[in-house]
Structure formats: C-alpha cells, structure tokens
Structure 1
Amino acid sequence: MLRAGGQTLTEIAILTPAVDDPAYKSHWPAVLERLSDALAMANLSAVPTAWTDHIEDAARLAAFPLVLGVLTWGYYERHPDWLRATRLWAEAGVQIANPATVLGWNSDKTYLRKLEATGIAIPPTLWSAAVTQDQIDAAYDQFDTDTVIVKPTVSGGAWKTSRLSRGERLTDAPAGHAMIQPFLPELVANGEMSLLFFGGWFSHAVLKRARPGDFRIQVQYGGQYEPVLDPPMEAIALAEQVLAAIAEPLLYARIDMVETPGGWVLMEAELIEPDFYLSQAPDGGRLFAEAARARLTIGR
C-alpha cells in the first residue's frame, strides 16, 4: 500500500512490452500514463513490469492483488512464450484480468470461427494452415472481389498484413496459419468502430479512419480517431452479442466492427492489450478504474 495526499493507494501490476522490443518504446509509455491517471481515480497505483520477465516464474506477479495485461504489445512476435506464460499465470493463480485463459485463446484469431458458429457475423474468411498463391487466387472468385486481405491468425496492429489485388503476388507470406478475407471498402469509406466495455458496462465508442491511400486504421500508420457520442443500436447489439458468447469474466473488452451493406460485422474482439482510447472517454477512464477496483474485491 502507498499513501498519496492522504489517500491509501493499492499497487497493481501492468504488464508492458519486452524491454528489448524497439517497436513500441516511443508509444507505450504515453498509454501507460493515461492508464495510470485513470486508475488513480480509484486509488490504484500502476506498477509497470515487462511480461517477458514472468515467463518462467510467476511469483512476483502472484504477489500483486491484481495484474492487468493491457500493454503486452508485441506478444504475437513471441507467441510460444506468450502461451507458455499465460498457462503459467493460470496455474500459479495470478489475479490477472482479463483471465490468463482469455489472454491465451484471444491471441489467435481463429477464435473468430467459434464466435461465428454462435451466430455472430464476421467477414467471409478463408482459413489456411499455410497460405499459398493458389488459395489467394481462388479467394477472388470465392468472395467475388478484386481485392483481398491476407494476415496471420496470430498478429496485431496490422503486423504482416497485406492487401492484394487480382493478379498481384504475395511477397511476404505469413508463417503458419493465416486468414484471407475480401477487402471491405466500407472500412476505408466509413471507418472501423470500436466499442469499449469495462466490467460489462458500455463506456464509449471511437471511429477509426485510415489516412488517404492506406487501409490500415492504426495510429502508427496515420489513422485518425474520433469519438462517437451515440453509436448505432445495431452496433451495440453486436458487441453485446459477442460479450454474451464469452464465458469467462472480462474486466475489459474492445469490440471492433465495420458496417457493411449486409449489416455490422465483427472484425475482432480485443481482449488482451487493446488501446482503450481513454482520451476519448467522457469520464476519462473512471469506469475502467472502478471496474479494476471492483475486481480487487472479487479476488479476495
């Protein structure tokens, strides 16, 4: 316990990228600061620690009353280590949110197949154990499109993601399992909407648009974000359908979707290390902080 301004602060851990990962050094500290400021509203003090320091031994994490895996950017580049770590944290009883089991299965986008089986709409998808040019060529006709997206099932932030046009060859094939989808022009025309939930309650929504000439909506590629003050009821309904299909208790969830002519489709259920866009949240992240504080009570 710490004391600040007469208040008792409870220390909780936030897992961060590996210290030797240069890709995120310039970005994640600012996100950590936003998270820390929000958590302070519920008298929680965030202690950053690299997730890669806890692959072999979970004792240090187990000493915290709560661990948040919300900044483990880059885990997909060390996926075997990530799966090993999440199994260890579960076995050691680390009080981690979201649960270590969720952090495991949500790291592979094949979870979308299981959600689709429950009736949740996702884009048409061809799943491949090892993507080939023949599969890509066949996908154009299968999806009745001239443009497809190819990406690994284990990925994040558009890592190893390619947009290909009919007749174009794939030069940077994903290693291992991959997914092929038709390019959704609505993603560029209208953007991708993210709905944020904390403790099961809707917090806020953000619309993300790619910069002109690009299809990637991430900020590192020039994507622009803007708050959505009144998201469509159909979007809320899809997000709630996704959350209802997940059995484990979630502290946080970011549900990413795109509106197509056939309705809203789920792009991803981000349950590991999504940016919460707290600067766009009307309450500055108070709902997130209160959900984390409530999880401490549940954990005791």
Structure 2
Amino acid sequence: MCSTAALIYPTVPLSNGLQIPIFGLGTSHDGGYSHDAVLHALCDCGVRHIDTAKRYNCEEELAVAIKESGVPRSDLWLTNKLWPGHYGYETAKKAFQKSCSRMGVEYLDLYLMHWPGAMQPGRSNREVRADTWRALEELYEDGKCRAIGVSNFLIHHLEQLKEDCTVVPHVNQVEYHPLQQPNELIEYCRQEGIVFEGYCPLAKGQVLDNPTVLQLAQKYGRSPAQICIRWSVQNGVVTIPKSTKKERIWENCQVFEFQLEEMDMAALGKLHDGRHVTWDPTSVA
C-alpha cells in the first residue's frame, strides 16, 4: 500500500469541466505491462493517470495493482479503449461492462474507441462508428464513464462523427512525438474543444538519438527522453509514456522540474518527418 502522498501533476480541462492529468502511465501488449512498475508509478511517483485497453490484456493485472496500491478510486484517472472487434451498439456496451469488471471498478474516467476502422465486412466504417459512438454516449449520459473519446481519429473521422451523433468527443488520443506532429489535426481538435492526447512520445526510441534532442539533453542536463516528454507536455498535450522499468518511470516523471526555452521548443517543432512508429490511420475511410 502506498505510503507517500501523491504529487500534484498539472491537469488539462475537458469540455465537460473535468480535469485530466496531463501526464500518465501508458500500458501495452507484447510485454508492455509490469506489476512492479505500475505500483512504483502509483506509490513512489504519485502518478494518478493510467491508460490501458482491452487489446493489451492487462485489465485484471491492473485491478490487482490498483488494489495493492491502496490509492482511492476517486483519486485515479483510468482510461480504457474499445477494440473494433467489439464495435456496434450492443456489443460495445457489453464490452464496456466486461472491462469494468476485469478492472474491478464501477466506472471509467475515459473510454475511447481505439481505431477508426470498423473491421466489419458489409458495413461502412462510418455506420459502425456512429452505432458504437451512440453506445458510448449512453454510457456517458448514464454516468458509467465520466468522459468519452476516440483514438487514432483524423479530421474526416471526427467530422463524420459530429454529423452523425450528439456528443463531441472529449479526447482524441493520437501518436505524437517530435517526428510525428499532426499540427492540422491538433488545431482542429482545439477549435472543436477536443483535448489532444499523445501516445508514443519517444517514437519507440527512434527520436532519442536525434542530434537536436541530444544537443538539448546536454544543454539542460536531462535525458533525451525527458526532453521529448517535456516538449510534449509543454505544448499542452496530454502525454502517456510507457515503460516497465522503475528507473525510467521515475525519470519520466521529473519533467515538471524544468522548462524548455522558446527557441528550443521551436527547434524540436522542426523535426517532423511524417513517420509513424505505430498504426497509420490515413487510409481508413
């Protein structure tokens, strides 16, 4: 059980008035979960924002870690994601309840559609997305999740959802790092009151040996990872780096102790080369 008080991380306001912590711990499949790392994040680093997904197959493990930590549920921000294999009005609702059950919670703080592609032959992506979003809207209206959103959605996906449904997504979670800066999408989200959340802030390590990043790491006496995460949060982006190593999680949490100068933020802003280190939703209709 945690013996230390939580650190106070900055938050970003959602359109419904809730405050989402700007920094969290991401989890993933393929060895992306560590019980000790999650406990370290919660107990030693004061992290209160945990991001997961059904696809990562670690919901039950997270339930154990949360219980062992002793952190009150009301102090946590828990995000989960609905995989396209469970898209559809009825299926989505059932999947939500199963995820809550596996995580040992009665509600989620944020529930996201994981991908814009529906993966349902014979039905258009748009039709399935709209059906699924209506289910999420009802879960939100019933208080079963405090906010709802999407992940990997581009502008045309969001435009269609606006036309087809009632609630504008509170969050859009997208790949974001110095090498992948979808600035047009970020600006669109801000205009529409959608909080932009970035995953893979270190580009799966591909940005850590960039000469500009290395130069700034030396200038500030920080690690390349800290430079990239600081750049992300300083841009106002909700950021969820993943790690299973305690020392890395601790290091990642220290980015609120320094600030990048404006010219250095601009230098990092020029590193975009369009690469994706994970899924690319560009071809999804």
**Structure (1/2) with the larger helix percentage:** 2
Structures share fold, TM-score greater than 0.5: no
Question: What is the TM-score normalised by the length of structure 1?
Answer: 0.27
**Structure (1/2) with the larger strand percentage:** 1
Question: What is the TM-score normalised by the length of structure 2?
Answer: 0.28
